């Protein structure tokens, strides 16, 4: 049944990603983005990365989607996009996208790289936490400093507006 689960999750993720960009109303787009993140969390659970999946739900859907919704509601309704015109940038984009999809297609027809069925020590939660603290402890501290810098930056931006 793994194939059916993967197919359903992949379809939901890609369909809501397209919906997030093409929906007329930005609130629908933000909600569709939330469903994309939920599909991604499902794919992470399928890949035995359960803690990362929980982290994705808590951070992306719990915080980023809320921030986006808040901004969309405060910025107000915007004009719609103009109809798609054939300009140089769009052609370049279409070229790039078809290149990427072509790479993906050629890789699919080659050897399939079936992975090992059980993850063993590679996905162990204890192993993840000991690696994070022992080998990557210093980057973790730097990450907290970057978080503090981002919070101070966002607060400064909000304060600068009020002083004006």
- Of residues 37 through 66, those in contact with another protein by CB under 8 A are 37, 40, 43-44, 46-52, 54-66
CA distance to 3, 40, 100, 137, 156, per residue, from 6 (Å): 5, 11, 21, 34, 44
Look at the block and give the residue holding tokens 């990603």: 17
Say how many residues touch another protein, by CB under 8 A.
100
Q: Which of 77, 83, 138, 158 binds another protein (CB under 8 A)?
A: 158
Distance CA 94, CA 18 (A): 15
Q: How far is the CB of 136 from another protein (least distance, A)?
A: 6
**Smallest separation (angstroms) from another protein to the CB of 134:** 11
Q: Does 71 bind another protein (CB under 8 A)?
A: yes
Quote the least distance from Cβ 72 to another protein, whole Å: 6
CA distance linking residue 84 with residue 82, whole number of Å: 6
Check residue 104 for interaction with another protein (CB under 8 A).
yes
37 near 60, Cβ under 8 Å?
Answer: yes
Q: What is the x/- site pattern for another protein, positions 117-156, by CB under 8 A?
A: x-xxxxxxx-xx--xx---x--x---x--xx--x--xx--
Site membership for another protein, residue 4 (CB under 8 A): no
Binding mask 73-102 for another protein (x = CB under 8 A): xxxx-xx-x--x----xx-xx--xx--xx-
Are the CB atoms for 23 and 32 separated by under 8 Å? yes
8 binds another protein (CB under 8 A): no
Cα 111 to Cα 3, 9, 95, 117, 151, distances in angstroms: 18, 24, 26, 17, 46
Does the protein bind another protein through residue 14 (CB under 8 A)?
A: yes
Q: Is 12 in the site for another protein (CB under 8 A)?
A: no
H or E, element range at 45 = helix 26-46
């Amino acid at each position: 049944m793994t194939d059916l689960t993967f197919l359903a999750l992949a379809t939901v993720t890609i369909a809501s990603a397209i919906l997030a960009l093409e929906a007329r109303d930005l609130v629908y787009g933000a909600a569709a983005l939330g469903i994309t993140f939920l599909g991604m969390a499902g794919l992470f659970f399928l890949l035995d990365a359960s803690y990362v999946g929980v982290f994705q739900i808590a951070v992306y859907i719990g915080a980023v989607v809320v921030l986006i919704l808040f901004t969309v509601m405060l910025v107000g309704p915007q004009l719609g996009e103009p109809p798609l015109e054939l300009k140089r940038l769009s052609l370049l984009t279409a070229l790039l996208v078809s290149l990427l999809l072509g790479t993906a297609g050629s890789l699919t027809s080659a050897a399939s790289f079936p992975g090992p069925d059980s993850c063993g020590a590679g996905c162990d939660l204890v192993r993840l936490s000991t690696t994070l603290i022992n080998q990557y402890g210093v980057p973790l501290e730097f990450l907290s400093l970057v978080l503090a810098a981002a919070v101070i930056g966002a607060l400064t931006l909000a304060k600068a507006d009020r002083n004006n």
